[in-house]
Amino acid sequence: MADTRRIAVLAHEKFPGRAKTALGVMRYSDDETVAVIDRDLAGDRVADHTDTVPDAPIVGSFNEVPGDVDALLIGVAPIGGGFDESWRPDVVAALEAGVDVVAGLHYFLSEDEQFSKLAAEYGGELHDVRKPHPGIGVADGRSADIDAEVVLTVGTDCSVGKMTTTCELVDAAQEAGIDAGFVPTGQTGIMIAGWGNPVDRVVSDFTAGAVEEMLLERGDEHDVLFVEGQGSIVHPAYSAVTCGILHGSMADKLVLCHEAGKAAIHGYEETELPPIPEYVDLYESLAEPVHETAVVAGAINTSHIADDDVARTTVEEYGHELGGPASDPIRFGVGELVEELVGEHK
Q: Give the interface with a copy of itself as residue ranges (CB under 8 A).
A: 138-141, 199-209, 233-244, 247-248, 250, 268, 270-274, 278, 281-282, 285-286, 288-290
The answer to whether 118 and 100 are in contact (CB under 8 A) is no
For a copy of itself, which is the closer residue by CB, 54 or 236? 236
Q: Closest distance between a copy of itself and the C-beta of residue 32, in Å?
A: 32
Longest Cα–Cα distance of the chain, Å, equals 59
For a copy of itself, which is the closer residue by CB, 124 or 184? 184
Q: Closest distance between a copy of itself and the C-beta of residue 317, in Å?
A: 21
Buried b (16+ CB within 10 A) or exposed e, 250-266: bbbbbbbbbbbebeebe
For a copy of itself, which is the closer residue by CB, 64 or 112? 112
For a copy of itself, which is the closer residue by CB, 127 or 201? 201
Instruction: Please give the helix or strand (H or E) that residue 35 lies within, else none.
Output: strand 32-37
What is the arrangement of strands in the sheet containing 294-301, beginning at the earlier edge strand? 180-183, 224-227, 149-155, 253-259, 294-301, 326-327
Q: Closest distance between a copy of itself and the C-beta of residue 251, in Å?
A: 13
For a copy of itself, which is the closer residue by CB, 2 or 203? 203
End-to-end CA distance of the chain: 20
Residue type, 203: V
Q: Residue 340, class by beta-carbon neighbours within 10 Å (0-12 exposed, 13-18 middle, 19+ buried)?
A: middle
Q: Closest distance between a copy of itself and the C-beta of residue 263, in Å?
A: 13
For a copy of itself, which is the closer residue by CB, 134 or 177? 134
- CA pair distance 332, 334, nearest whole angstrom: 7
Q: Closest distance between a copy of itself and the C-beta of residue 10, in Å?
A: 23
Residues in a beta bridge with 149: 224
- CA pair distance 276, 295, nearest whole angstrom: 11
Q: Closest distance between a copy of itself and the C-beta of residue 39, in Å?
A: 29
